[in-house]
Amino acid sequence: MKRMIALGFEGSANKIGVGVVTLDGAILSNPRHTYITPPGQGFLPRETAQHHLQHVLPLVKSALETAKVTPEDIDCICYTKGPGMGAPLQVSAIVVRVLSQLWKKPIVGVNHCVAHVEMGRIVTGADDPVVLYVSGGNTQVIAYSEGRYRIFGETIDIAVGNCLDRFARVLNLSNDPSPGYNIEQVAKKGEKFIDLPYVVKGMDVSFSGILSYIEATAVEKLKNNECTPGDLCYSLQETLFAMLVEITERAMAHCDTKDVLIVGGVGCNERLQEMMRIMCSERGGRLFATDDRYCVDNGAMIAYTGLLEFAHGASTSLEDSTFTQRFRTDEVKAIWREANLEKLNGVAEKNI
């Protein structure tokens, strides 16, 4: 049988990516381009959309060429429906709607958060882990239960990556390749731990108060030579990551699961991975994590997740191929996992 192939578009934040994947998870191509702002500045919707407008079509060409596929080979075209910033999301949606009509291929709208989870699972081979999804826009502890990815804990204000990114602006760190990466490098030089607020509320976390506190403290302490930027980055990372490890551990207890998967841009942080690995080993479980090729937003994760849905009979009509800034992880019915469940049940029944 011919293998199924999907083309996927991701452009919900400051990266625009186009990927080609097959249903067994092979990534045939996955080019992307990141909108990098000057130090001290974040990315704004309008400018980010302009960046995507400039880069999306060359990326499509490059994705098809690298994958050595033609439009006829493609079974469906997938795009990020949400969550994310409106104007950047629209760029992918428009291109997909046009290509779908030109090539007469079906569309599949994909939830960005679910795509991170599925990409993490296929790349690492983690079967049914507790997932920590940490990025510039999202912070969630997720586990699969009864047909959906359920959010067990999340941030009640800003995302952990947003907290790190904005602190990088205070220190005027470069946004290339990403502010979080540069914080991680500076943190390696930290020696002194500075006490910061630690805000875990049940299964949820809050970062905005910590950011306000460290923004105010940093300027003062640096001026008086009481600490170095390294100390600040180190202390911030330790505090934020300890909070994340705590809520992940609590979710593991709830779900009775030993394995943890970390996905999302902040998931590349090796210190976070190290802290999580220690916690997992103490509970006799394993940590699954990936590097920046799969952690960070990319087109392949959208293509793969869309293809899973498509292979199980779902697609999005042109009229419904909208985008939305708010789209919760648990709104999606994970039909491809239900199907597996039935298959497993079928096997179990035969064995009886």
Shortest Cβ 225–other proteins spacing (Å): 48
Is the CB of 110 or the CB of 211 nearer to other proteins?
110
Shortest Cβ 309–other proteins spacing (Å): 19
Burial 239-262 (b: 16+ CB within 10 A, else e): bbbebbbbbbbbbbeebebebbbb
CB 32 within 8 A of CB 297: yes
Shortest Cβ 126–other proteins spacing (Å): 35
**Distance of alpha carbon 254 from the chain centroid:** 23
* Nearest residue to 92 via CA among 171, 8, 6: 8
Q: β-strands 15-22, 32-34: how paired?
A: antiparallel
Shortest Cβ 4–other proteins spacing (Å): 20
What's the Rg (C-alpha) of the chain? 21
Is the CB of 103 or the CB of 193 nearer to other proteins?
103
Shortest Cβ 97–other proteins spacing (Å): 4
Q: What is the DSSP string of 118-167?
A: HHHHHHH--SS-EEEEE-SS-EEEEEEETTEEEEEEEBSSS-HHHHHHHH
* Nearest residue to 119 via CA among 145, 80, 147, 90: 80
Is the CB of 68 or the CB of 192 nearer to other proteins?
68
The annotation places the binding site for substrate at 133-137, 165, 180, 184, 269
Is the CB of 57 or the CB of 341 nearer to other proteins?
57
Instruction: Report the C-alpha gap between 167 and 185 in whole angstroms.
Output: 14
The annotation places the binding site at 112, 116, 133-137, 165, 180, 184, 269, 297
Is the CB of 212 or the CB of 317 nearer to other proteins?
317
Q: Interface with other proteins by CB under 8 A: which residues?
A: 49-50, 53, 56-57, 60-61, 64-65, 68, 70-71, 87, 90-91, 93-95, 97-99, 101-103, 318-319, 321-323
Instruction: Report CA dihedral (263, 328, 89, 161) to the nearest 10 degrees.
Output: -40
